[in-house]
Chains A and B, each alone.
Chain A
């Protein structure tokens, strides 16, 4: 860990906030993507089955 001196809290807060926001963005995108993909498969199968 580098010595951040008196700015340790500042730098760590900036990194923590950015990483959390990026992870949330990627996580929510992947979660919604999987949900929509599963929903599409379900609807397509139902329509195929019911003709």
Chain B
């Protein structure tokens, strides 16, 4: 079909796009979201378990020691994926917060709320494994290095975000304020990602993975690391979908109880 030069509202190409957009926003309907995710979740749980087990077992049992870091290199299969997810979880919260602020879809605000504890745990794993790894390599568990410090600030932002949700009774006001906090925190999430590029000083090494092939770790570590990252990504998706479903149900309970009180 030739769509060029046809700008009238009945243009079938435009209608198709509009229908596609509508199909996407249909998932903002809580019922549609719950029925779809309940069908998908078993597969995502299983896939995440398989990828995590494969990546970690492969990395732990079947990769050699690094010539400089010895066996501690095996921590990479936990540290890098969790750090990646810590930053990307906040980015996902940023997108869903923007959707809430612009389009007022409750599911998106609840998805951001559901993702925060997952991001918090990912940040904690990244900080803990980094400290444990740092001790034998740097001679200290902690240093006020740009990347470590920006990650600590990201961790505090996660705590503040969760606390703000809990502190405000009206869910719409809580969603508004947490969305604004999320926008501010995004600066630190990005800073955590690019801190090593902004400041050259510090103990933390450069990126282990990048689109630039020269920065990659050796293939023998890279392949199990990719599988492990896939496992963490899938686990994050499974947890966020499941927890969003829980938040939707908790919201429905509050609505039903409020209606009951008004009707009584």
Contacts and interface: CB of A to CB of B under 8 A. Distances in A.
A33 B242 contact: yes
Given A10-B135, A11-B74, A33 B253 contact: no
Given A2-B61, A29-B246, A43 B71 contact: no
A47 B136 contact: no
Nearest to A37: B249
A44 B56 CA distance: 43
Nearest to B69: A7
Nearest to B78: A18
Given A22-B121, A25-B117, A33-B246, A14 B133 contact: yes
Contact of B243 (A8, A11, A33): A33
Contacts of A18: 78, 82, 125, 128-129
B60 interface: yes
A17 B129 contact: yes
B125 A17 contact: yes
B121 A43 contact: no
A5 B46 CA distance: 34
B217 interface: no
B169 interface: no
B129 A14 contact: yes
B72 A40 contact: no
A22 B125 contact: yes
A43 B70 CA distance: 57
Contact of B239 (A13, A15, A26): A26
Interface string B117-131: 110010011001100
A15 to B, nearest CB: 7
A43 B257 contact: yes
11 contacts: A5-B65, A7-B71, A8-B71, A14-B78, A14-B128, A15-B78, A29-B117, A29-B242, A32-B246, A36-B250, A37-B246
Interface of B: 56, 60-61, 65, 70-72, 74-75, 78-79, 82, 117-118, 121, 124-125, 128-129, 132-133, 135-136, 235, 239, 242-243, 245-246, 249-250, 252-253, 256-257, 260
Given A3-B71, A40-B252, 15 more contacts: A2-B71, A11-B71, A11-B72, A11-B75, A15-B78, A21-B125, A21-B128, A22-B121, A26-B235, A29-B243, A33-B246, A37-B249, A40-B249, A40-B256, A43-B253
